[in-house]
C-alpha cells in the first residue's frame, strides 16, 4: 500500500470482534477483518479524483451518497445509509461524495438536489433517488434497484 493509498484509506471497526481495520477506498473484491475474517462494512469517502476507482471500477454494487455538511436531510439519512452498509457487509459498498468539494462528480451525474443516492452496479449507474426518505422506503428502493440491475454483490470476488 502506497502512502497515497494509505492516506485515502478509512478505518472500520469489525462488528464481530471489534478490531479496527484499515479499509482502502478502492480494490477488487470485498473487505474482511484482519483478525476474524468477517466481512466489514465498506464506507469510503470519494471525490473528483477517486470516484472512478472507488465506484466505477468496483466489483461490488456501490451506493453513492451525494451530500453536503450543511444539508439537514443529508444528515438525516446518513445513519440509514451507514446501517445499510453494516447490514450488507460483503455485498454492498457505500461511497460518500461531498458535493461542495467534488463539483465534477455532481456535474457528471446531473445532481441538482441533495441528498442524491446513486446505485452503481457493473460499472454504471443503475438507479437514483433524490431526497431524504424513511429507512423502510430506502431499503425497498435499494432491494428493487439491485434486483433490476441483476446485482446482489454475491458474485463479487471473495478475497
Q: How do residues 144-155 score in pLDDT, each as one tens digit?
A: 999 999 875 544
The tens digit of pLDDT for each residue in 112-136 reads 999 999 999 999 999 999 999 999 9
The CATH number of the domain covering residues in 41-149 = 3.40.30.10
- Band of pLDDT at residue 10, cut at 50, 70 and 90: confident
* Grid cell in block for residue 20: 479496527
Instruction: For residue 44, give the 3-state DSSP assignment.
Output: strand
Buried b (16+ CB within 10 A) or exposed e, 15-52: eeeeeebebbbbbeebbbbeeeeebbbbbbebbeebbe
Q: pTM score, two decimals?
A: 0.89
User: What is residue 148's predicted lDDT score, i.e. its pLDDT?
Assistant: 94
Beta-carbon count within 10 A of 141 CB: 16
Active site residues: 71, 74
Confidence at residue 3, expressed as pLDDT on a 0 to 100 scale? 35
Crossing angle (nearest 10°) for helices 135-149 and 72-87: 60
pLDDT at residue number 159: 38
- Tens of pLDDT, residue by residue over 39-81, are 999 999 999 999 999 999 999 999 999 999 999 999 999 999 9
pLDDT for 103: 96
pLDDT tens column, 14-36: 999 999 999 999 888 899 999 99
105-108: Cβ within 8 A, 24+ apart:
105/46, 105/47, 105/48, 105/51, 105/66, 106/66
Amino acid at each position: 500500500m502506497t502512502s497515497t493509498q494509505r492516506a485515502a484509506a478509512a478505518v472500520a471497526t469489525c462488528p464481530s470482534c471489534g478490531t479496527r481495520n484499515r479499509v482502502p477506498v478502492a480494490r477488487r473484491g470485498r473487505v474482511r477483518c484482519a483478525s476474524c475474517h468477517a466481512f466489514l462494512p465498506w464506507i469510503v469517502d470519494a471525490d473528483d479524483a477517486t470516484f472512478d476507482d472507488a465506484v466505477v471500477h468496483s466489483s461490488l454494487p456501490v451506493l453513492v451518497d451525494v451530500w453536503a455538511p450543511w444539508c439537514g436531510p443529508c444528515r438525516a439519512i446518513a445513519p440509514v445509509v451507514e446501517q445499510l452498509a453494516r447490514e450488507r457487509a460483503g455485498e454492498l459498498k457505500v461511497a460518500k461524495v461531498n458535493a461542495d468539494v467534488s463539483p465534477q462528480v455532481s456535474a457528471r451525474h446531473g445532481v441538482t438536489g441533495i441528498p442524491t443516492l446513486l446505485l452503481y452496479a457493473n460499472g454504471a449507474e443503475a438507479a437514483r433517488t433524490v431526497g431524504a426518505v424513511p429507512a423502510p422506503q430506502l431499503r425497498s428502493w435499494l432491494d428493487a434497484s439491485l434486483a433490476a440491475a441483476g446485482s446482489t454483490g454475491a458474485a463479487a470476488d471473495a478475497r
